[in-house]
């Protein structure tokens, strides 16, 4: 009998995980029908898109309040989709703000739930573990250090490893990446990863453009490239900056590989850059009101994922007011030009892969899915 699975994702990184998951499951059991809230990646993997996930890039308490009517409408559509499809399993990928709510609704309908990518309960909102234990049947973990948390709470979980370990097992050489992108082999390249959410872009692009101008003034030989996510509309670059600052879409891996250093928005991308062994500076901004609340509840002194995994500050974090154009420019130039400083960071970066444990093991994820469907 054909089984039905709905996947709910909130952003590009989740879509990528979902796409890989669908392809891995279909190799093992092509009889499963996948439905998804997502976009083109999930559609191309074979899922029927029931709802788009664009517009879910809302970060912060006060930002959410402004979008309440939109979120209420989305929630009604989500519930209707679940009731209409009657899935055998719901797979929730990251995005805990919405997905934990979906888990509660699914539990009330006696639908099995697998959560893929643990909420960062080790950093903040530790109380979510109670909701997870109540509403989620199985947690698929990316990081080995998370396993102990779930064992103590009595939540069934499996460490499946991080897919990035497979993705960056053989990092494209700097020379090959530059050939692919048509870049000078000897010019210093600074990659800029401004994020995949519209909110992030709106807050960070003005300061990024200002920092780029300062970097160019300090060293006109530096070429800067913005890696633009598919989820973002074309970025506007001022005419006076186009001779040293450009954007390239859908080439993030090659841009990072081609670079000497990276300016990176906090998030999954910091781990991608770290695994590619490129020195980086982490930047981030949210609304001031949200920041004042967040800094009182976040338990970890580090927010960059690569730093959290390394359990030390590998990359400097410039958050909120510290993410000024001057500070960003100074750190980027130091990463590019201070050889001793670069070497120290590169040595720390080499340890991150070891902290992630074994490579991604999709067979463990498939086994957990099969057990949930069959029971």
What is 262-320 written as a DSSP string?
Answer: EEEESSHHHHHHHHTT--EEEEE---HHHHHHHHHH---S--SHHHHHHTS-SSEEEEG
pLDDT band, residue 12 (cuts 50/70/90): confident
Beta bridge partners of 321: none
Domains of the chain and any CATH numbers: 4-161+360-374 (3.40.50.2000), 167-355 (3.40.50.2000)
| Residue 60 pLDDT class (50, 70, 90 cuts) | very low
Torsion of CA 333, 264, 166, 177, to 10 degrees: -50
The DSSP line for 8-60 is E--SHHHHHHHHHHHHHHHHH-TT-EEEEES-HHHHHHTPEEEE--TT----S
Q: Which residues pair with 227 in a beta bridge?
A: 248
Q: What's the pLDDT score for residue 162?
A: 79
How far the first Cα of the chain sits from its last, in Å, is 14
Query: How far apart (Å, rounded) are the C-alpha atoms in residues 200 and 206?
Result: 11
Average pLDDT over residues 175-203: 90
Q: What is the pLDDT of residue 81?
A: 96
Q: pLDDT band for position 112 (50/70/90)?
A: very high
Q: How far is CA 5 from CA 25, 46, 54, 288, 371, in A?
A: 11, 12, 21, 39, 13
Lowest mean per-residue pLDDT among 10-24, 41-55, 58-72, 298-312: 58-72
CA gap 311, 105 in Å, rounded: 36
Q: What's the mean pLDDT when you consider all of the chain?
A: 87
- Is the CA virtual torsion 374, 14, 36, 34 positive or negative? negative
What pLDDT score was predicted for residue 62?
Answer: 43
């Amino acid at each position: 009998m054909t089984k039905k699975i709905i996947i709910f994702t909130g952003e590009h990184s989740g879509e990528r995980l979902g796409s890989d998951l669908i392809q891995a499951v279909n190799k093992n059991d092509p009889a499963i029908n996948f439905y998804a809230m997502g976009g083109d990646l999930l559609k191309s993997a074979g899922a029927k898109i029931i709802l788009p996930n664009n517009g879910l890039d809302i970060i912060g308490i006060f930002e959410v309040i402004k979008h309440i009517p939109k979120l209420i409408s989305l929630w009604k559509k989500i519930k209707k989709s679940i009731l209409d499809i009657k899935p055998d399993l719901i797979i929730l990928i990251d995005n805990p703000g919405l997905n934990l709510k979906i888990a509660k609704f699914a539990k009330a309908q006696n639908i099995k739930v697998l959560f893929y990518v643990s909420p960062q309960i080790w950093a903040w909102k530790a109380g979510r573990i109670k909701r997870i234990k109540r509403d989620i049947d199985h947690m698929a973990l990316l990081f080995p250090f998370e396993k102990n948390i779930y064992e103590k709470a009595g939540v069934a979980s499996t460490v499946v490893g991080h897919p990035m370990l497979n993705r960056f097992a053989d990092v494209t050489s700097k020379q090959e990446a530059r050939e692919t992108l048509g870049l000078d082999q000897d010019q210093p390249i600074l990659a800029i990863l401004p994020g995949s959410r519209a909110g992030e872009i709106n807050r960070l692009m003005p300061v990024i453009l200002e920092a780029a101008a300062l970097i160019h003034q300090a060293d006109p030989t530096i070429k800067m490239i913005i890696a633009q996510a598919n989820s973002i509309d074309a970025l506007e670059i001022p005419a006076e900056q186009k001779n040293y600052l450009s954007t390239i879409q859908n080439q993030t891996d090659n841009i990072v590989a081609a670079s000497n250093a990276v300016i990176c928005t906090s998030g999954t991308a910091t781990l991608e850059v770290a695994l590619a062994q490129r020195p980086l500076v982490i930047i981030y901004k949210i609304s001031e009101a949200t920041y004042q609340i967040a800094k009182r509840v976040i338990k970890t002194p580090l927010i960059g994922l690569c730093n959290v995994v390394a359990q030390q500050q590998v990359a400097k974090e410039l958050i909120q007011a510290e993410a000024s154009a001057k500070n960003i420019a100074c750190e980027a130039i130091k990463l590019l030009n201070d050889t001793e400083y670069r070497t120290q960071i590169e040595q720390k970066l080499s340890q991150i892969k070891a902290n992630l444990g074994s490579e991604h093991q999709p067979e463990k994820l498939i086994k957990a899915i099969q057990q949930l469907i069959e029971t």
